């Protein structure tokens, strides 16, 4: 008679997932005062270590995505809450793209990905979940990094906590102008 082994229970930690699940039906993008979540984070006075801000420049900053598609998912955005790319000032535009380039360099140094996605979703129909505050997504990618968990269980598996990711990205962040 064949002997069958008992299946091993594997645990996947997705600590951010409970916040996401509990927020279904809640507008995470805007608070009661109509300000974006990013504007509220900036106004909170909390230290960057608690908010996962990984870089601050004069006009733009970079923060980890609280609900990342992959480890290292960085968002680059102006401090000023603006929805449309064409509404940025010239100085904001220049700094936004310099900061995006620095994010690419930091992620390449910290994670050595096979590729990266860089993009903007303008407007809710385009996929902009926080469409009132323009932000550029920068995320490292690896062959096979999207697996069955997303399709079957609507869950992403992330191998490290956001605070660890933030520390790695901060350490790898290049000085602008280099």
Q: Where are the alpha helices (DSSP H) in the chain?
A: 15-22, 37-43, 48-51, 90-111, 148-153, 162-172
Which one from 55, 73, 135, 137 is the annotated catalytic residue?
135
More confident residue, 64 or 177: 64
Question: Is residue 61 over pLDDT 70?
Answer: yes
pLDDT attached to residue 152? 45
More confident residue, 158 or 9: 158
In a domain, 14, yes or no: no
pLDDT attached to residue 125? 79
Among 76, 72, 86, CA closest to 172: 72
Question: Domain span at residue 73?
Answer: 31-172
Please say if 135 is a catalytic residue: yes
Among 149, 144, 126, 123, CA closest to 134: 123
**pLDDT tens-digit map of 3-40:** 555 555 455 555 555 554 444 444 445 556 778 999 99
In a domain, 42, yes or no: yes
In a domain, 56, yes or no: yes
In a domain, 121, yes or no: yes
pLDDT attached to residue 25? 42
Question: Using CA atoms, how far apart are residues 37 and 64, in angstroms rounded to an integer?
Answer: 13
Give me the CATH number covering residue 155.
3.30.428.10
φ/ψ of residue 56, rounded to 5: -130, 130
In a domain, 21, yes or no: no
Given pLDDT bands bounded at 50, 70 and 90, which one contains residue 69? Answer: confident
In a domain, 89, yes or no: yes
Q: Which residues of 24-55 are buried (b: 16+ CB within 10 A; e: fewer)?
A: eeeeebbeeeebbbbbebbeeeeeeeebbbbb
Q: Please state which of the ranges 13-27, 46-60, 98-112 shows the lowest mean pLDDT.
A: 13-27
């Amino acid at each position: 008679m064949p002997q069958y082994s008992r299946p091993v229970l594997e645990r996947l930690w997705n600590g951010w997932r409970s916040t996401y699940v509990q927020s279904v039906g809640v507008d995470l993008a805007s608070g009661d005062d109509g300000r974006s979540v990013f504007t509220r984070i900036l106004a909170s006075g909390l230290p960057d270590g608690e908010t996962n801000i990984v870089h601050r420049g004069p006009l733009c900053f970079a923060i980890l995505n609280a609900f990342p598609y992959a480890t290292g998912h960085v968002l680059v955005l102006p401090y000023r809450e603006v929805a449309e790319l064409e509404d940025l000032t010239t100085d904001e535009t220049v700094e936004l793209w310099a900061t995006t380039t620095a994010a690419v360099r930091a992620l390449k140094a910290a994670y050595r990905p096979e590729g990266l996605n860089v993009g903007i979703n303008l407007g809710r129909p385009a996929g902009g979940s926080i469409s009132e505050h323009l932000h550029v997504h920068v995320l490292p990618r690896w062959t096979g990094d999207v697996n069955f968990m997303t399709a079957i269980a609507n869950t992403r598996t992330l191998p490290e906590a956001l605070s660890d990711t933030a520390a790695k990205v901060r350490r790898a962040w290049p000085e602008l102008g280099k």
